[in-house]
Structure formats: structure tokens, C-alpha cells
A and B are shown apart, each in its own frame.
Chain A
């Protein structure tokens, strides 16, 4: 099998004709003297589920932070649906269609589950400050519709009965799922999941895998996930990119990645060492 060039785009056949969701060209960022990510070339198809893997500290979360504009890149460009994202803020990147979850959960802990999702729906809810404080009909209508939408989104994970619970009081797995629901509420074209299965048991992970696939089919979006659980990654990702020390070392289908000597070396170390 010929080895793929990590600089070449790799996307599923069915997405080839469409503008890719994101296109990173030579993306890189330095923190002081440390180059956390360098020469990151990556293309994601419109309905693709892709994985970003690599050993601890490889720079995976940093890539997410670059995509969501938490950091501005030191080098390179990033196109979202063909448009350059230079100078965007995190909020603007979200409005443009990038939603994410966090490696260390960042819920609005003291608010209810429903409120968490409603905050995700913030930009979908339309009324003015005036209509809100004087409680005009449009306020009631929009709030009612938002509430229904939020419950509908929660029902993807069967969480509608928890709507009035305080988010911080949920079990760990439910908090992770709520973060995904909140991200979906922002109506994204790209969903970034940072270690969604962390801390979940195998049964929960298997269920999560099914749900991720279902979300992609329901919303017709692309999903990029970081995950250390190889069963999950190999099970649902169509394309996988492997980072090591901030550089891409391999790209390809799960089968190609599994047998790639560079990847095996990055994960297990050189033979004999």
C-alpha cells in the first residue's frame, strides 16, 4: 500500500464535489519558544466523521483552539466553507458554524440543563431587548419555540427528563452528553468533540458511538473528534489524522492508520528502546 502524503487532502469520495467544511493550510502556532502545532494541513469533508489522534501533549486540543479561534495562528490559513477565517473571534467562529465541546467539561454548572441548551440557542432566539423586558408577544413565542427546540435536542440523548436539573449535579457521562447537546444547539456545520468518551464505561462509549453517527446523519454536519479510545476512533471515523509533537505524521483510513509504522512508533516507541 502506497503511503499517503500528509500534506495532501484526504476526504471521503461522497464529499469530494463539495466545498470542504474546513481547510487548513500550513497552520501553526508558537507559545513563546515552543512550537505547539506546525505545518498542519487538513481537509474535512462536508459529512465526514474524522478523528484526530496522537499521544498526550501532541497538540490536539491546540488544533481545536485554533479552529475555534481561541488562539490566532502564528502561521498558515484556515478556510471555513471556503472563506478565510482570519481575525475572527471565538463567538464569530461559532456563528460561522463551528461548535465544540471541551476536554475538561465547561458547562454552565449552576444553571439548569434546559438553560444550558437555551444558551446554546442564543443566536437562534430572535427578539429585541425591548420586546424581552416588556414581555411582548414575540418574546413569548420565541421563548416557547426555543424551549421546545431545546427539549427536542435533549431527547437525542434521552435527557429531556433532566431538563430542570442543575447541570453541575449530573453524573459525569450526562455532563459530557449535555455539552454535545449545547454545542448542537448553536446549529453548527462542524462539531468538534474533545475526548467525548473520556471517563465513560464501555457500554456508554458504545452508545455514544451510535449517537455520534446518528447526529451526523440527522444534522448532515461534519464531526471532528479527538479521542484516546481506539475502539471508538477506529469504529466511526472515516478519516484519521495523527499528530505527534505538533506535526501530522499520518493521515488515512482506519486500516491504513492501524498498520502505519510511524504511528505505531509514536504510540509505542521504537523497537528495542
Chain B
């Protein structure tokens, strides 16, 4: 297999990937301006983008770092509320583009800080214990968002009455750009010494430590980055719905994201992307069965665990350029083989 692959040099790889991404975007926007993709479908596409960001960011901790946190929706909530409150405060006093950009950054920073605060104690634990403590923290965030106003007398999150009138600034273009940026950043990080350190912790923590890797530092780093990107997804979500209620960020949302990651294959970015897309689209397409979504999720998860425990993609990471390289390799390989047999 290796021998038949033509190695495509770096700048060209980037160009090919950039072209592929631009093509996807252009096709979708052409379809929507032609009216093939209606407003309703655009909404679903935005939701897919948000879920992709959630899944790939959780995959960083679950798939690459090998830990099992259950509070991802909590970080999303923090990002969503930070961004929602900010957007309400600055609306009208700042160009929208700038406000949106700042709200995304703010959401990432605030969620990242929460990731740090929660990660420090949580990452001292492993396995089930880590799952339970992060689940607890996720719930704490939700409950605080729900009650902080009535207890402390703020007009801040508006608790169960919902944070309303957030400017609806999330367009498909913005969501798409965020997906590309987040995937790019996670991808490049994972292909560096930082990413290798994270992988080594998953593989064998003791060996990792004995290679001079400060495991606590890198675990916390992965956790913070993951939380920050969940915050970005939350920010998009706030600008997508225009209204936030703590109930949207419950434990089930965390589970939903986890299911996407596990189904796609832990440690496979493309797996997370595909399964997030499919699992976000399915309930919309099968509206009539929306009530059975959680049942379907559970069944799906059980089936995958029985028949393909490593997830649909395993740890396979798709590389468009490698695929092209292999195709070229195969074609030219055939040619040389023919030449050889002729001689």
C-alpha cells in the first residue's frame, strides 16, 4: 500500500485541501441561492456545523487523550451565555462583524477558563471517576445558569425564562468557516509535538511520563482547548437560536455529543465529522420519529459496540491528498507494471 502512494509535497497538499473545502462551500451556497437548499435546510446545515465543532472538540479529549468526560454541554453553555450576553450588550454600538468575531473569541476564552478550573481537579481522576465528576460539573453549570438570577437578583441569564433577543448572527458561512478553522487547528496541533504528547498519554501514561512529558500539563491543555472550542460552538448556537435556555445544555446534550464521537470512531476526526453530520440530520429528516431519537441513539450505539467496537472509522484519519496520491500511485503503478512485463 505504502509503495503505491505518490507523496504529494506540502504546499500542493494545502492547495488541494483548500480547493476541496472551497468547492464544498461553493456548491452548497450555489444550491441555496438557486433555491434548492431552502431556508429550512440551511438551518439544519448550521446545526450540523455546530455539532461537528462539538464532536471534534470532544474527540480531542475522548479520542486523542483517552479520557471520558461527560460535561461537554456545560462548556457549550458557558460559551453560549457569554456570547449571548455580550451580543445583547453591544448590539447597535459596534459593527456586527466585529461583534460576532469578538463574541466567538470571548466564548472560547470563558469556556477555556471553565475548562481549566474543572480540568485541574477532574483530571486527577481516571475512567469512571472522571466521567462522574465532569458530569457533576456539567450539571452544576446548568443549575447555576438556571438559578443565578433569582438567587442573587441579577438580570443576567434570566434563568428558566430564557435569555431572549440575542441577535441572530449565525449564518451558514460563519458556521462553515468556524468548522474549517476548528478542524484545521485541531489537525495541525495533533500533528505536532503537542499532539504526540497527548496521544502518548492515551497510549501509556507511565511511559509518557518517563519520556519527559509532563502529563498533567498536557492533559489540562487538551481539556482546555476542547472546552474552548465547545464554547465556540455555544457562541454559534446562541446566534443561531437567538434565545438560550439552560435546559438546552443538560446531561443528554453531553451524551449526544459523546455518541457522535464514539460512533464515528474515537480518535478519528473525519469519523466525528461524518457521524455528527449524520446524527444531526437524521432527526430532522425523520421528524415523525423525533421522540424516539434517544432510543435510536442507544440502539445504534449498542449495535456499533457489538459489531465495530472501535467506531465506524476506527482511528482512521481520512486524508484527501493521500487518497489522490494513492490514486496517482495506482495509475502510474499499473503503467510501470505493464512496462516491466513488456520488457
Contacts and interface: CB of A to CB of B under 8 A. Distances in A.
Contacts of A100: 210
Interface string A104-144: 00111111000100111011010101001111000110010
B183 to A, nearest CB: 12
Contacts of B197: 119, 122
B192 A133 contact: yes
Contacts of B338: none
A133 B189 contact: yes
Contacts of A115: 196, 199
Interface in B209-247: 209-215
Contacts of A85: none
B2 interface: yes
A90 B209 contact: yes
A91 B213 contact: yes
A68 interface: yes
A127 B207 contact: no
B204 A119 contact: no
A89 to B, nearest CB: 7
Contacts of A140: 10
Interface string B7-28: 0001000000000000000000
Contact of B212 (A123, A132, A143): A123
A127 B193 contact: yes
B213 A107 contact: no
B211 to A, nearest CB: 5
B213 to A, nearest CB: 6
Contact of B199 (A89, A108, A139): A108
Contacts of A110: 203, 315
B211 A125 contact: no
Contact of A68 (B189, B204, B210, B215): B210
A176 interface: no
Contact of A108 (B192, B204, B209, B212): B204
A234 interface: no
A257 interface: no
A236 interface: no
B212 A106 contact: no
A215 interface: no
B185 interface: yes
B192 A127 contact: yes
Interface in A59-101: 68, 70, 89-91, 94-95, 99-100
Nearest to A99: B210
A47 interface: no
A123 B213 CA distance: 8
B265 to A, nearest CB: 13
B297 interface: no
A135 B13 CA distance: 13
Question: Which one of A94, A118, A143 has the highest number of Cβ atoms from chain B below 10 Å of its Cβ?
Answer: A94
A182 interface: yes
Contacts of A120: 211
Nearest to B209: A90
Contacts of A107: 203-204, 207
18 contacts: A89-B214, A91-B210, A94-B210, A95-B212, A102-B210, A106-B207, A108-B204, A109-B203, A111-B196, A111-B203, A119-B208, A119-B211, A119-B213, A122-B211, A127-B193, A132-B192, A133-B185, A134-B188
Q: Which 10 A-B pairs have the closest CB atoms?
A: A132-B192, A94-B212, A108-B203, A106-B207, A90-B209, A133-B188, A119-B200, A125-B193, A91-B214, A123-B212
Interface of B: 2, 10, 185, 188-189, 192-194, 196-197, 199-200, 203-204, 206-215, 315
